[in-house]
Each structure stands twice: as structure tokens, then as C-alpha cells.
Amino acid sequence: MDPFFRTTEPAIGQLDTDSNLINGWIGGGIAMVLSAVLWGLITYYTDFHNKLLAIGVGFLVGLGVRLLGKGETLIFGLSGAGLSLIGCVLGNFLYYAALMAREEGVSFLDTLRMLFNTPTTVIEFFTSSFKIRDLFLYGVAAYVGYKVALDMEEKQNDNKTESKPY
């Protein structure tokens, strides 16, 4: 073996035995619910849709998938993106439910119960309040959720495998 062509990488990479998709979904799901509640509360009290909220949802969900799932494959990134989308929709749903409760003068839980019992009302509410901006925000959240779920490990691996000439 020629000493000038030393590599620090093994010929066969280590198997990814630490990853767990179910744990990734649990971590992403917890982050999704927490960030959706924050999205709903912030939007309700400020009455302002901010794209930073979408970035925050994507970041928290991607981080949850990354930290608990410990995966490096595409499914972990797609899980981060999908859960981020659901988190944004859930955040908007909670905002609209709180807004409806305030306007109707009923409790938030009664409004949620009514919305869950009549899903057509939810669909009608989302279609009537949909704006192109929402599509953009959801896309940003999905992108951030995907990148955060995958890129942290990839950057660490890139730093480890760089071989410096002697």
C-alpha cells in the first residue's frame, strides 16, 4: 500500500444502526404539535402571519426528527418536511378556531368540538381563507424541515472525512 494515498475512511461504511424512524416521527410529532400551538397563539395575539413562524415550525420539527430519529436517509428528511406541513396547517387551524371562538363568543373547546363534528366546515373555512402566501409559507416550512432533519449529520460527516495532505 502506497503511504501517499492513505485514507481515514473504511472501504465499507458503517451501517446506520442508531437510526430509528419511529423515534424520529415521535420527536417530529411532539415538535409539530408544540410549534403549531405556538403558531396559533402568536398569530392569534398579533393577528399577523409571519414567514418566520413557518421557518420556526420547520426548524423545530426537523430538529425533533433529527435528534430522536438519528437517521441520514431520505425518509427522515421527507418525514421532517411532511410533519412541518402538517404543523403549519394545524397552526393555522388553531388560529382560525380561536378567531371563530372570539367572534362567536363561545369557548375555544366548544369551537373545536363543533369543527371536529362538522369537517365540511373546516374545509370550507380553509378554502375561503386560503391565500397564495399560505402555500409559500407551507413550502418554506417543508424545505426547512427537510434540510434540518438531514443536513446537520451531513455537515458533521463532511468535516470528519476531509483528508488533509501531509
pLDDT of residue 122: 85
Q: Which residue has the higher pLDDT, 3 or 42?
A: 42
Domain of residue 34 covers 21-159
| Residues 99, 79, 145: CA angle, nearest 5 degrees | 65
Structural domain contains residue 144: yes
Q: Which three cell numbers stand for residue 47?
A: 393577528
Structural domain contains residue 7: no
**In the predicted structure, residue 10 carries a pLDDT above the cut 90:** no
pLDDT of residue 11: 43
- Please report the DSSP string for 114-142 in residue order: HHHH-HHHHHHHHHHH--HHHHHHHHHHH
Structural domain contains residue 62: yes
What mean pLDDT is predicted for residues 15-40?
Answer: 89
Q: Which three cell numbers stand for residue 132?
A: 397564495
Average pLDDT, the chain: 83
Q: Decide if 142 contacts 81 (C-beta within 8 A).
A: yes
Structural domain contains residue 46: yes
pLDDT tens for 74-119 read 999 999 999 999 999 999 889 888 988 999 999 999 999 998 898 8
Structural domain contains residue 98: yes
**In the predicted structure, residue 13 carries a pLDDT above the cut 60:** no
Residue type, 62: G
What mean pLDDT is predicted for residues 29-44?
Answer: 93
Number of domains in the chain: 1
pLDDT tens for 37-78 read 998 889 888 888 777 888 999 999 999 999 999 888 899 999
Q: Which residue has the higher pLDDT, 159 or 132?
A: 132
pLDDT of residue 125: 81
Structural domain contains residue 27: yes
pLDDT of residue 47: 82
Structural domain contains residue 68: yes
Structural domain contains residue 15: no
Q: Which of 100, 118, 120 is nearest to 109 (CA)?
A: 100
pLDDT tens for 144-157 read 999 999 875 455 55
pLDDT of residue 103: 92
pLDDT of residue 32: 97
pLDDT of residue 87: 95
